[in-house]
Structure 1
Amino acid sequence: MPVFKPIICSRFFLRICCIVSLGIVFSFTANIDAQAALVASIRPLGFIAAAIADGVIPVEVMLPDGASPHDYALRPTNALQLKKADLLLWVGAKMETFLTGPASSLPAERCITLADLPSVTTLLPKIGEELYDSHVYDKKCRGGHIHHHGDYNMHLWLSPIIARRIAEAINHRLAELMPEKKTKLDNNLYLFKKHLTINDKNIAKILAPFRAKRYVVFHDAYGYFEKYYGLTPSGYFTANPEIQPGAQALHKIRTQLVEQKVTCIFAEPQFRPAVINAVVRGTSVHIGTLDPMGIGIALNKESYARFLSQLTNQYVSCLEKNI
């Protein structure tokens, strides 16, 4: 008997350990499944969401760094994000086409479509109400793609004014879903607007000396930011970044670079076409980079202000070269 007691005790102990371990595993798995989040389609929207949801609910971003919302394809990991999401924040079908189906299947209270918000759409210029009259490329690319992605300019996150409306919409919806967190949410919204106002004045001061500088962007995406801060672009290479301009358009661009005394041409981290190098060859035009997606900026309550400041510095770093 004494020989078998340790074995019996060991087996009993092992069974207890297994039961406890399984309980821990199931509990951990349940916590993962229950760990809902506010899911933003693209990183700049995540910046705004992170400020309002700070200390309330985690924020995740669907689009990986370096990808473009214009041609992204939904991945299995994204489907899992949507499944556990308490709330989806996206611009709309005219921008993130990869989300059109999944977003339509979500309950209305679990989805904020910015393009459909009355507080936002009233601030959007329609086609025919151009932000600028001078463009170096046609308003329609080959294939009939309209540079405003539909009836409106959809690069909403580049407008400090619209960013405030987005923040208010997030605050309102989260307060509906989590009324016990309303005080925290309202305080987050207050701080977001306060920091944005301070940052806004600083950016306006930094960009003021460069308002008369002429430049060209590769992708027609920056109109809201440029209009708000009084910058004067000469135009853009292409309306649709997946469709590069043809030989005739490139010749026109090169001619205007010289005639309009353009200081810079801006590429993007996602799009650095060889045509930019070719078109500036033999001129005094500098090449810079603008990042409209905020690659590498971590999500926190100060992300959006940091994003706008980074974009400002990217403009200045090239425009100041001919001063």
Structure 2
Amino acid sequence: MSRILLSLSINAALMGGAAFAEVPRVAVDIAPIHSLVARVMDGVGTPDLIVQSGASPHEYSLRPSEATALQKADIVFWIGPDLTPWLDDAIETLATDASVTELLEADGTIELEFREGALFEAHDEHGQDEHEEGAHEDHAGGEHAEEKAGHEDHDHGEHDPHAWLSPQNASTWLNVIASQLSVADPENAGAYFANAAAGRAEIDALTADVNAVLDPLRGARFIVFHDAYQYFEAAFDFPAAGAISISDASDPGPARIAEIRARIADEGIDCVLAEPQFNAGLVATVLDGTEAGTGILDPLGSDLEPGPALYPQLIRNLATNLAECL
């Protein structure tokens, strides 16, 4: 009798293992997107994170475990080559059998063009519809030439890739993620779409919370370390006055630093915001001799535990840290 029970237990375990094996293996580029995918897969499976927390997504060397995750992936979700140009080749080489979803190109995604110049003007308008192509004029000489070269040097596309900082995009992507997972795993489609709906409700509540934090501070002026936050700024109508660096992959030239310092002195900038993993000395240089406060913004949530809770906490932290600085 004990042998029969043992045999039944083994068969049940094998059947359970077979059922679990049917859940797609999913690889995701960065922690905020991994969080959205983990929210949709909650209770069904766990996605693999490729770019580990605290690392710059623009330049990254795959660890063996991350290369293996790509090789085994049935589905890959990523922002796209505008953020991680090196990952394009890795996906093509390693994830040969995977279904690949580039979220920046997904239907309904809000895309914003790169801003030019160290200083941002309140009247600046940027294309803000899915895959809309706006005029992108070339400027000769001076700071604009330096920034244009910076875009080219780092393989940037026409659109700013930091699109996860728009909660509206995150909400759109939850359904995109659920749809792709359901195609690969129709038995769990109900769970995926239920999780996506719950995630969208959480983002609606998150948006209301952030607006409540920022409403008393509207009109305050701040400068960010690098121009990564315009999706957050547009979502909450809380514009930055400028950025020290055009990207986290390049240092600003002396002319750009001088331009930023002049604005702080002339226009009463309240706060200059650093980022945890980049050159704090540049922020100190910009702040020297001014009365502006300082704080830290982290667009990737590098100090947060990867998983479903990371994305809403990331957005809340941006609002909280900004408010505390102002």
Q: What's the TM-score once normalised by structure 2's chain length?
A: 0.80
Q: How does 1:50-61 map to 2 (within 5 A)?
A: 50-61=38-49
1:152-203 deviation line (CA, Å, top 9, x unaligned): 1110110011101111110000000100001111110111011111111111
Total equivalences in the alignment: 288
1:82 aligns to 2:70 (yes or no): yes
Q: Which of 105, 112, 127 is 1:116 aligned to?
A: 105
Task: Give the conservation status (yes or no) of the 8 Å contact 1:47–1:304.
Answer: yes
Kindly indicate whether the alpha-carbon contact (under 8 Å) linking 1:54 and 1:300 is maintained by their aligned counterparts in 2: no
Aligned runs of 1:7-26 on 2, under 5 Å?
A: none
Alpha-carbon distance change, 139 to 198 in structure 1, aligned in 2, over 3 angstroms: farther
Superposed CA deviations along residues 36-89 of structure 1, whole A, max 9, x for unmatched, are 632210001011111111012212211122210112122322211101222211
Which residue is 1:8 aligned to? Answer: none
Structure 2 gap segments, 5+ residues each: 1-13, 125-142
CA distance in 2 between partners of 1:140 and 1:57 (Å): 46
1:84-105 superposed Cα distances (whole Å, 9 cap, x missing partner): 2222111111111121112234
* One-letter amino acid of the structure 1 residue matched with residue 89 of structure 2: G
Amino acid at match of 1:201: A
**1:215 counterpart residue number:** 222
Structure 1 pair 140–89 and aligned structure 2 pair: CA distance change class (3 A)? farther
Shift of 1:236: 0.3
Farther-moved stretch of structure 1 (50-59 vs 273-282): 273-282
Q: Which residue of 1 aligns with 2:55?
A: 67
Question: Are 1:91 and 2:98 an aligned pair?
Answer: no
Assess if the C-alpha contact under 8 Å between 1:241 and 1:271 holds in 2. Answer: yes
* Structure 2 residue matching 1:112: 3-state secondary structure: strand
Q: Distance in 1 between matches of 2:293 and 2:116?
A: 30
Deviation at 1:311, TM superposition (A): 1.5
Q: Which amino acid aligns with 2:103?
A: L
Residues 24 and 184 of structure 2 are in contact (CA less than 8 Å); yes or no, is this contact kept in structure 1?
Answer: no
Tell me which residue corresponds to 2:302.
295
1:183-231 deviation line (CA, Å, top 9, x unaligned): 1111101110111111111111111112211111111000010111111
Confirm or deny: 8 A CA contact 1:126 1:151 kept in the other structure: yes
Q: Cα gap change, 1:275/1:40 in structure 2, threshold over 3 Å: closer, same or farther? A: same
The residue correspondences of 1:77-226 to structure 2 (distance < 5 A) are 77-105=65-93, 106=95, 110-120=99-109, 123-126=110-113, 132-133=120-121, 138=144, 140-141=146-147, 143-145=149-151, 149-226=156-233
Q: Secondary structure at the match of 1:315?
A: helix
Q: For 1:118, what is the secondary structure of its paired residue?
A: coil
Measured at CA, do residues 95 and 108 of structure 1 come closer, stay the same or move farther in structure 2, by a change above 3 Å?
Answer: farther
Change in CA separation of 1:239 and 1:129 when aligned onto 2, cut-off 3 Å: closer
Deviates more, 1:283-292 or 1:301-310: 301-310
Question: Using a 3 Å threshold, how does the CA distance of structure 1 residues 139 and 168 change in structure 2: closer, same or farther?
Answer: farther
CA distance in 2, matches of 1:172, 1:201: 27
C-alpha distance 128-271 of structure 1, shift in aligned 2 (>3 A)? closer
Matching of residues 189-268 of structure 1 within 5 Å:
189-268=196-275
Secondary structure of the equivalent of 2:252?
coil
SS of residue matched to 2:272: strand
Counterpart of 1:226 in 2: which secondary structure?
A: helix
| Aligned residue type for 2:88 | T
When the two structures are superposed, what TM-score results if normalisation uses the length of structure 1?
A: 0.81
Instruction: Give me the whole-angstrom Cα distance separating, in 2, the residues matched to 1:127 and 1:242.
Output: 15
Distance across 1 between alignment mates of 2:294 and 2:209? 25
217-226 or 74-83, larger mean C-alpha shift: 74-83
Larger Rg: 1
In the alignment, the residues of structure 2 paired with residue 74 and residue 140 of structure 1 have an alpha-carbon distance, to the nearest angstrom, of: 30
With over 3 angstroms needed to count, the CA separation of the structure-2 counterparts of 1:71 and 1:295, relative to structure 1, is same
Aligned equivalents of 1:185, 1:210: Cα separation in 2: 38
**What is the distance in 1 between the residues matched to 2:35 and 2:197?**
15
Q: Against the structure 1 CA distance between its residues 103 and 133, is the aligned structure 2 distance closer, same or farther, given a 3 Å change threshold?
A: farther
Q: CA RMSD in A?
A: 2.8
More off after superposition, 85-94 vs 221-230: 85-94
Cα distance between partner residues in 2 of 1:139 and 1:259? 25
8 Å CA contact 2:104–2:111 kept in 1: the answer is: no
Q: Do the aligned partners of 2:32 and 2:311 also contact (CA within 8 Å) in 1?
A: yes
Which secondary structure does the structure 2 equivalent of 1:111 belong to? strand
Contact 2:40–2:178 (Cα < 8 Å) also in 1: yes
Letter of the 1:76 counterpart: P
